[in-house]
């Protein structure tokens, strides 16, 4: 009897502990987001958001532009790589190594990728720090995500799509291109949005590639000019990197406020992209669930 009571007591205590641990963690995390956003918006002035020399507008633009380029690169290689793994690769040693290599890529420290980018895209090409090199470095970091999302999406498609198409005399590639990829396009989009979220926050990989300065002239639309906003071969500091440089360099009198505002903007970007990805995949699951019945 007392043994059973003891058991029940231990069970209650442990349950309470788990609840407390979870509550602590979740409250801490939610408070964290809330704090960053509230603090940032509390200190925000219109001046800070401007596209002038000291405003964050340029960095925001750089961030979006760089991430956009990075997504283009990782889509151009990651989606085919995912198709390769899901459709063309035979199960065997080579595929095993390809998969393992891409997994390794996913766990590489971003600063290591940044150093590689510095060496490969800056030193070896003899160029200045530039957005293009930065976006290549970020695309290396997002490539594994895009690849695995594509592979999983293709693998999760019902076999009937493949059968139906092949049965009509379509080649394997016609099947992939006309049926399978369109069918998993929303999933791939979700993966890209997740990748974008990662790209926004990346800083370590950009320190030695995209550079820590930015000089944009918004009236200059000559794409070959170093101050043209759209020229990818110009240095371009991103918001995340700006936070880092504000902390170490403290050039601005209101560095702390600028960093807080930058953090808040980044947070909003990341959270909204993450929610968007979640929403899309939720809608998809709902739709799939609806048609299966």
Partner 1 sequence: MTELTTTLTGYAAQARDDAHVRDEAAAADITQENTFDVKGLNLFYDKTQALKNINMTIKKHEITALIGPSGCGKSTFIKTLNRMNDWIENCRVTGEILFEGRNIYKEVDSLALRYRVGMVFQQPTPFPKSVFENIAYGPRIQGISNKKKLAEIVEESMHQAAVWDELKDRLHESALGLSGGQQQRLCIARTLAARPSVILMDEPTSALDPISTQKIEDLALQLKEKYTIVIVTHSMQQARRISDRTAFFLLGELLEFNNTVDMFTKPANPKTEAYITGRFG
Partner 2 sequence: MNPIEIAVKNAHRDERAARLLITICGIGAALVPFFIGGFLLLKGSDTFLIFGHSLGEFLLSGQWAPSDTAVGGGHVGAAMFLSGSLVTCGLALLISLPLSISTAIFMTEIASPRTRRLIQPAVELFTGIPSVVYGWIGLTVLIPFLRHFFIMPYGFSLLAAGCVLAVMIFPTITTMSADAMAAVPKTWREASYGLGATRWETISRIVIPAARGGIFTGVILGLARALGEALAVAMVIGQMKVFPTSLFLPASTLTTAIASDMGGAMEGGEYSAALWTMALLLFLLSFLFIFVIHRINRASQLKGRA
Residues 206-225 that bind partner 2 (CB under 8 A): 207-208
Distance CA 114, CA 162 (A): 40
Cα distances (angstroms) measured from residue 164 to each of 97, 171, 225, 285: 32, 12, 53, 23
Residue 136, C-beta contacts closer than 8 angstroms, at least 6 positions apart: 70, 73, 117, 121, 209
Which member of 58, 135, 142, 147 binds partner 2 (CB under 8 A)? 147
| Residue 260 contacts which entry, partner 1, partner 2, none (Cβ below 5-8 A, type-dependent) | partner 2
Binding to partner 2, residues 149-188 (CB under 8 A): 152, 170-174, 176-177
Q: Which is nearer to partner 1, 35 or 161 (CB)?
A: 161
The full DSSP string for 207-225 is: TTTT-S-----TT---TTS
Distance CA 247, CA 255 (A): 7
Q: Does the protein bind partner 1 through residue 183 (CB under 8 A)?
A: yes
Which member of 38, 119, 168, 251 binds partner 2 (CB under 8 A)? 119
Q: Does the protein bind partner 2 through residue 230 (CB under 8 A)?
A: no
Q: Does the protein bind partner 1 through residue 156 (CB under 8 A)?
A: no
Q: Which is nearer to partner 2, 132 or 244 (CB)?
A: 244
Site string for partner 2, 26-55 (x = CB under 8 A): x-xxx-xx-xx-------------------
Q: Does the protein bind partner 1 through residue 293 (CB under 8 A)?
A: no
The full DSSP string for 83-121 is: HIIIIIPPSSHHHHHHHHHHHHHHHS-HHHHHHHHIIII
Distance CA 137, CA 152 (A): 24
Cβ-in-10-Å burial (0-12, 13-18, 19+) of 39 comes to middle
Q: Which is nearer to partner 1, 34 or 182 (CB)?
A: 182
Which member of 52, 54, 104, 213 binds partner 2 (CB under 8 A)? 104
Residues lying near partner 1 in the complex (CB under 8 A): 90, 160-161, 163-171, 174, 178-179, 182-183, 291
């Amino acid at each position: 009897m007392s043994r059973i009571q003891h058991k029940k007591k231990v069970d209650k205590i442990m349950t309470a502990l788990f609840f407390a641990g979870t509550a602590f963690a979740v409250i801490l995390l939610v408070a964290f987001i809330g704090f960053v956003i509230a603090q940032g918006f509390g200190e925000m002035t219109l001046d800070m958001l401007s596209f002038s020399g000291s405003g964050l507008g340029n960095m925001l633009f750089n961030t979006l532009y760089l991430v956009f380029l990075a997504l283009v690169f990782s889509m151009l290689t990651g989606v085919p790589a995912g198709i390769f793994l899901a459709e063309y690769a035979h199960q065997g040693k080579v595929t095993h190594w390809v998969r393992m290599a891409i997994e390794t890529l996913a766990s590489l420290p971003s600063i290591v990728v940044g150093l590689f980018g510095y060496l490969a895209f800056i030193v070896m090409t003899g160029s200045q720090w530039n957005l293009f090199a930065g976006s290549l470095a970020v695309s290396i970091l997002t490539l594994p995500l895009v690849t695995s999302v594509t592979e999983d999406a293709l693998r999760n498609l019902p076999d009937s799509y493949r059968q139906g198409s092949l049965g009509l005399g379509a080649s394997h590639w016609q099947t992939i291109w006309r049926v399978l990829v369109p069918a998993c396009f929303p999933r791939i989009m979700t993966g890209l949005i997740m990748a974008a979220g990662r790209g926004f926050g990346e800083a370590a990989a950009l320190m030695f590639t995209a550079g820590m300065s930015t000089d944009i002239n918004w009236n200059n639309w000559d794409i070959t000019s170093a101050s043209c906003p759209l020229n990818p071969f110009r240095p371009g500091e991103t918001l995340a990197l700006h936070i880092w440089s504000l902390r170490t360099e403290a050039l601005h009198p209101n560095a702390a406020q600028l960093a807080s505002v930058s953090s808040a903007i980044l947070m909003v970007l990341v959270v909204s992209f993450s929610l968007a990805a979640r929403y899309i995949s939720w809608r998809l699951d709902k739709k799939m669930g609806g048609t299966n019945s």
